[in-house]
Structure 1
Amino acid sequence: MKILKKLFIKNYRNTSDPKVHHRYGVVAGVIGIIFNLLIFGCGIAVGLISSSISIIIQSVANLTDAGSSVITLIGFKLSSKPADKDHPFGHARIEHIAGFIITIIMLMVGALFAKSSIEKIITPEELNINTATYIVLGFMVAIKLLLMLMYRSFAKDIDSDTLLTSSVDARNDMLANIAILISMIVMNIFDINIDGYVGLAVAIITIISAIKMIGETVDPLISVKPNRKLVNKIKRELLSFEGINDMHDLLIHTYGTGSTFVSVHVEVHENTSLLDCHELIDTIERYFEDKLKINLTMQVDPVNPDNPENKRIQSKMQRALRTLNKKITIHGLRVVRSQTKTTVLFDILEDFDSHLTKKQINSVLAGVFDNENTQFEFIFTIDKPFT
């Protein structure tokens, strides 16, 4: 696949560039159209001559795959359009819609094939199997294998749901062609007609795969956890800047290649001046925009992690809260002292399956500091692990 990338995709390694991303889709779409039309022509001819419903089904599937490649082309073309006043975050999610359309086509084709196969089981026809049948089926297997490898490689490079869907479709077609080839050999040797049953099996595999892929193509349109590699990269880059002690509340909104928006809370020492803090944050945001193509917004939390009293308070709070939930954690803790009370400001991180209320948390924390010489007030936010 590397040869294809070198020949047809300029700067193919720079997959963060929207133009390169778009080019991957165009190349995959054009190659898919050409080869699917080629094996459709060969397959439909052999299928009609041999009267095999399973071969005809697979040939028509190749025609729909060519149509899917057209949808892929259109999807990548539209998704590469720049942002406008009605779509300020761009059009990149059209690519996911294209992938969804392809899965719907797979589902409809599978249902149609199942109907035709059942009819063949009820009223079987005599088959005319010859050497050309085996050659064409072998050719179809080889082409689908190459398409599967290309789609999978491209999908991995640019993190594309559309191309991943196409790779799964090509894999299913390849396995179906292998099954048909084996069944043709069996039918020719033992003189039995299982063509309708093989066609039905192929149709069922197509339907099951389509149903699975519907969820995978729709999920990004609803909301999913961001890519773990991206999360780790953002964390690594942020913590590499001197003055950033820690970070939390990382939120990532990705609308496609070149359209990623990130917000995060960063912890800096409370003695850092406002001017120095602003300069640091401004430098980091420019770095993310220029080097990583990420629109970053940061909130600064002033902390003093070396203060022994703050450490004592956080430790007591952490132990108390873990009586409610062992996985709960505290971050961004800040202590403000006055003559009448001590105010503790912090964030709590709990899992999505945990549903603690502020009343429960306040009740537990109040009991921990009953014996202190000052009154404690707790101001906090309950966060969920969005990354």
Structure 2
Amino acid sequence: MTEFLVRRFVRDYDNTDDAQVRTRYGLMASTVGICCNIILFCAKILVGLMVNSISVMADGFNNLSDAASSIIGFVGVKMAGKPADEEHPFGHGRLEYIAAFIVAFLVIEVGFSLFKTSLGKIFHPEEMVFKGISVFILLLSVCIKLWLAAFNRKLGKRIQSAVMKATAADSLGDVAATTAAMVSLLVYGIWGLNIDGIVGIMVSLVVMWAGVSIAKDTLAPLIGEPIDPRLYGEITGFVESYEGIIGSHDLIVHNYGPSRSMASIHAEVPNDVNVDDSHEVIDRIEREALKKFGIFLVIHMDPVETNNSRVMEFGCMVENVLKEVDARVSFHDFRMVEGRSRINLIFDLVFPREYDTEKREWLKEEIERRITEADKRCCLVITAESGFGVEK
């Protein structure tokens, strides 16, 4: 069914890197969600009124909130697909994250309202009526929601959509909520026990938890999160695969929405190669990175000594000291200025992000102590920093 809908309503569906194709995916998914949730809302409200069940009606209003969420997602995807303009030179892609965040708040608000209503039902229970058709409708609802969860998760992964992934998670929460409401009816029908209010509380907690989870997932890219380790390896490996590039470091990726990223990286080149030749290689990498990854990559060129045996000797000494002190600490931009009685070693130290100031200071002092013990002429000029990606 998913592939049928994609082929029927998404033109050029294979080109998922294209912003317009992503928008078509989002609009199609939102329309499907709106239609399914409105149908489920009407069916559950009818069932809830028939059997006088707060948990069933609560689940129905949860579906109504899902329909509203789909409408917000529809608007968010549509606005996120707008091209860059003078006031927004990086496009409008982050509006999709904002739409998902609004969805999260709606889900939490609905869950809290259901919690209050269900609490009242515990203290003031009302008679219920058991009907077999009610259980059948709820079972059908579970099947539809399971399909919607799989539908949105599949499309969300395909186009890297935060809204679709949030909707998939919300649908799984709905499955739990509807199952609980169905269990409440079955318990009343078989044993005559009215646990409607208690089940309503459980449903509301599931709904609120789904909202909190969606909020956490959508806040991460808005605040700024580290690059995916797989993509980090792909980009650095791609850059370092070119002839004339010795190594790379300091890869930073800025996310301006799904499939809208900019990145910068430092590429190390031999310092005895003509600058124009190295610059030509850098330009080619930037152009081909845009084609391969869809990322606008800016490369800073770092000249590195490759033929001076003295510089390489001291560079190896620093590398060995780091391995002895802490293998997770790395260095780059190594330079050496040698005088008659003093050798300046200049380099950047990269610490893991979780290291606190005290630990960094201790490591820095320990590295300086060991290097000066190996050669008393050494004077270290160290710039300490944290990595923005993953450790190599």
Q: What is the TM-score when the length of structure 1 is the normalising length?
A: 0.92
Corresponding residue number in structure 1 for 2:364? 361
**Which shifted more, 28-37 or 332-341?**
332-341
How far apart are 1:238 and its partner, in Å? 0.9
Deviation readout 1:159-200 (Å, 9 max, x if unpaired): 222111111111011121122222211210111111111111
Corresponding residue number in structure 1 for 2:127? 126
How far apart are 1:297 and its partner, in Å? 1.2
Identity %: 32
The separation in 2 between residues aligned to 1:123 and 1:8, in whole angstroms, is 49
**Compared CA separation, residues 232 and 372, structure 1 to 2 (3 A):** closer
Matched, 1:257 2:258: yes
SS at match of 1:332: strand
How far apart are 1:306 and its partner, in Å? 6.1
The structure 2 residue matched to 1:378, chosen from 380, 385, 392, is: 380
Corresponding residue number in structure 2 for 1:232? 233
Deviation readout 1:264-319 (Å, 9 max, x if unpaired): 11111122111101111111112223443221111111223565433431232234
Maintained 8 Å contact 2:177/2:207: no
Matched letter for residue 123 of structure 2: I
Deviation readout 1:332-380 (Å, 9 max, x if unpaired): 323344556433332211112323667973684366346748x444344
Maintained 8 Å contact 1:16/1:257: no
Matched letter for residue 384 of structure 2: I
SS at match of 2:27: helix
Corresponding residue number in structure 2 for 1:100? 101
Equivalent runs, 1:176-255 vs 2, <5 Å: 176-255=177-256
Maintained 8 Å contact 2:351/2:360: no
SS at match of 2:117: helix
Corresponding residue number in structure 2 for 1:175? 176
- Paired residue total: 386
The separation in 1 between residues aligned to 2:223 and 2:12, in whole angstroms, is 32
The separation in 1 between residues aligned to 2:64 and 2:280, in whole angstroms, is 58
Maintained 8 Å contact 2:271/2:306: no
Maintained 8 Å contact 1:253/1:260: yes
The separation in 2 between residues aligned to 1:228 and 1:80, in whole angstroms, is 27
Query: CA RMSD for the aligned pairs?
Result: 2.2
Maintained 8 Å contact 2:267/2:299: yes
**Which shifted more, 239-248 or 299-308?**
299-308
How far apart are 1:54 and its partner, in Å? 0.6
The separation in 1 between residues aligned to 2:362 and 2:117, in whole angstroms, is 62
SS at match of 1:82: coil
How far apart are 1:74 and its partner, in Å? 0.5
The separation in 2 between residues aligned to 1:382 and 1:47, in whole angstroms, is 63
**Compared CA separation, residues 306 and 147, structure 1 to 2 (3 A):** farther
Matched letter for residue 236 of structure 1: G
Which stretches in structure 2 are left out of the alignment for 5+ residues?
Answer: none
Matched letter for residue 133 of structure 2: A
SS at match of 1:81: coil
Corresponding residue number in structure 1 for 2:296? 295
Matched letter for residue 167 of structure 2: S
**Which shifted more, 48-57 or 6-15?**
6-15
Maintained 8 Å contact 2:155/2:164: yes
The separation in 2 between residues aligned to 1:248 and 1:104, in whole angstroms, is 39
Matched letter for residue 371 of structure 2: V
Maintained 8 Å contact 2:25/2:155: yes
Matched, 1:276 2:277: yes
**Compared CA separation, residues 372 and 128, structure 1 to 2 (3 A):** closer
**Which shifted more, 328-337 or 171-180?**
328-337
Maintained 8 Å contact 2:80/2:96: yes
**Compared CA separation, residues 93 and 197, structure 1 to 2 (3 A):** same
Maintained 8 Å contact 1:317/1:365: no
The separation in 2 between residues aligned to 1:58 and 1:209, in whole angstroms, is 14
Maintained 8 Å contact 2:90/2:256: yes
**Compared CA separation, residues 244 and 179, structure 1 to 2 (3 A):** same
**Which shifted more, 309-318 or 247-256?**
309-318
How far apart are 1:154 and its partner, in Å? 1.2
The separation in 1 between residues aligned to 2:302 and 2:178, in whole angstroms, is 60
How far apart are 1:32 and its partner, in Å? 0.2
